[in-house]
Amino acid sequence: MTTSTPIDNSAVLWSATGADQADRPLLIIMHGYGSHEGDLFSLAPHLPLEPVIAALRAPLPVTDGWAWFPISEPGRPDPATVTAAVNAVLDWLDALPQQPPTIGLLGFSQGGAMALELLRAAPDRFSFAVNLSGFIATSPHFSDAELAEQPLPVFWGRGTADGVIPPSAIERTQAWLPGHSTLTERIYEGLPHSISQAELGDVVNFLRAQYIEVRAEPTA
């Protein structure tokens, strides 16, 4: 059994604090292997203003940064380590002083895998996921049937020159996402394991569409 290492709450980067967080959607951002919470937080000025953004630091220290789970076999991590990371994020969410009205997920590489696995672990808690150069980490999952019946929006972007994520992980993700999400898939010619300006523009459009839907929902 793998024990969850808690999310370091003092390391979370917030786009808003205090009263500015009240009654606003939350967008959780998760970085890739060996990176840190400030990496993707640099995207915050380009993203829609509706959500409060929280950039989390992965719980496991590695040589040059932090990781959500160890790399044993590229693209196919030990499911127990993925579950431990997912539980750490869910525990962090549970401990927030106030729960946001909606929660979205955005991650790159390992963080993209985390976005998808969190959606699978607790589909009732999240509204959508943005998976940038990530992959489905484990299969099957107990909630897959629920997502097949009530799929949630997922954006999946990746480059044709990505030499980090193995083809087997991409194929597994290609097989899973269409039947378990309302998928927006974008493939960028010549893009390596990174985020391009064109992809960022597509992500912004996807996020705007999600928050337009939230605003359009009738209130009780």
CATH class of 9-216: alpha beta
Q: Give the model's pLDDT for residue 219.
A: 46
Q: What is the pTM of this model?
A: 0.94
Structural domain boundaries of the chain? 9-216
Helix (H, G, I), strand (E, B) or coil at 195: coil
Q: How many whole angstroms separate alpha carbon 207 and alpha carbon 209?
A: 5
With vertex at residue 125, the alpha carbon angle to CA 9 and CA 185, rounded to the nearest 5 degrees, is: 100
Q: How many whole angstroms separate alpha carbon 175 and alpha carbon 177?
A: 6
Instruction: Please determine, for residue 23, whether its predicted confidence score (pLDDT) is greater than 70.
Output: yes
> Which residues are within 8 A (CB) of 107 and not within 5 positions of it... i.e. 6 or more apart?
29, 30, 31, 32, 40, 113, 114, 115, 129, 130, 131, 132, 134
Q: Which of 126, 109, 127 is nearest to 173 (CA)?
A: 109
The answer to whether the beta carbons of residues 12 and 38 sit under 8 Å apart is no
Mean pLDDT along residues 142-171: 95
Highest-confidence segment of 72-76, 109-113, 216-220: 109-113
The answer to whether the beta carbons of residues 215 and 101 sit under 8 Å apart is no
Instruction: Please determine, for residue 3, whether its predicted confidence score (pLDDT) is greater than 80.
Output: no
Least confident of 3-7, 56-60, 155-159, 190-194: 3-7
